[in-house]
Amino acid sequence: MSTRLSDQAVCIRHWDFSETSQTVSLFLRDHGLVRGLAKGSKQAKGRFSGGIGLLSRGHVQAIVKSGRDLATITEWDLLELYPALSRNLASHYAGLYFADLIQHLFSEADPHPDMFDCLTKSLAALPDSGSVENRLLAFQWTALVEAGFRPVLDHDAQTGETFPDDAKSLGFSAGAGGTVVDDGRGDRWRVRTETIVLLRRVADGSHDEAAHPSDQAVGRANLLLAAYLRAIMDREPATMRAVFGKKLPATTTARRN
């Protein structure tokens, strides 16, 4: 049995299959991840716009057959490239990190249209120069929510109790899935309360970049979300290290199941 797909897609992986063909991993808006073989895609003339480029957006036609690992990619109509990826090293690494998160957090044929929209919006908003912190924050948050790991921020994730208003720091436990009491145990990271307040604003949609929260504040929030993602995936992609360097918090003694 075969199914024909026609959808928007972003290429998040590609490999040379031969001198003229590619294997690709595509993230489709309404069909999720699809791995496929694009025969003849690298030929100048054909139905593939001269090749399927990494982190390009296009309209894809594909045939998926049950029992086969690879779909047959029959057409790729290029819709958009993202110039900042080749102009700004920080944007380049951020784009590759976005692709890694998609690949590791989501299963094949599991559609996440909101995640797709966030990916294309984030790629388009990456700057030609300067900081990518706000783009990273929006993307990492959406990835966690869409993958089913929205962190608990408004109460203790273990006990359900609320935190005192004057708490200067809180704990964050990957195993518990959110904020906990900052008691110094090795299963949690110490986090400034202002970092959690910023993430609460992101969660309820009230985070306003125009209010100009400092890059330091947004950076701390990004590091926390990245550490949480690392615990969930049980791996640290090379692109995560490229984006955050050695600033990532050490792993804790407890991981989320």
In this structure, is the dihedral angle defined by the CA atoms of residues 47, 50, 54 and 56, taken in order, positive or negative?
negative
Asked if the model's pLDDT at residue 66 lies above 90, the reply is no
Confidence at 131, pLDDT banded by 50, 70, 90: confident
Tens digit of each residue's pLDDT (9 = 90 or more) over 167-200: 889 999 999 999 999 998 888 999 999 999 999 9
- List the alpha helices (DSSP H) in 68-214: 84-87, 89-105, 113-125, 133-146, 193-204
Confidence at 209, pLDDT banded by 50, 70, 90: low
Pairing label, strands 169-173, 189-192: antiparallel
Q: What is the pLDDT of residue 32?
A: 97
Q: What is the pLDDT of residue 78?
A: 94
Confidence at 80, pLDDT banded by 50, 70, 90: very high
| 2-80 and 83-257, same CATH topology | no
Residue with more model confidence, 45 or 9: 9
Confidence at 211, pLDDT banded by 50, 70, 90: low
Instruction: State mean pLDDT over 75-90.
Output: 95
CB atoms within 10 A of CB 220: 19
Q: What percent of the chain has pLDDT over 70?
A: 96
Q: Identify the burial level of 4 via C-beta atoms within 10 angstroms of its C-beta, where 0-12 means exposed, 13-18 middle and 19 or more buried.
A: exposed
Chain centre distance of CA 36 = 21
Confidence at 19, pLDDT banded by 50, 70, 90: confident
Q: Does domain 83-257 have CATH number 3.40.220.10?
A: no
Asked if the model's pLDDT at residue 208 lies above 80, the reply is no
Domain layout of the chain by residue ranges: 2-80, 83-257
CA distance 2 to 23: 19
Task: Please give the CATH topology (third level) of the domain spanning 2-80.
Answer: OB fold (Dihydrolipoamide Acetyltransferase, E2P) (2.40.50)
CA distance 235 to 253: 14
Q: Which long-range contacts (CB under 8 A, 24 or more apart) does 97-100 make?
A: 97/136, 97/237, 97/239, 97/240, 97/242, 97/243, 98/55, 98/122, 98/123, 98/139, 99/12, 99/13, 99/54, 99/55, 99/239, 100/237, 100/239, 100/240
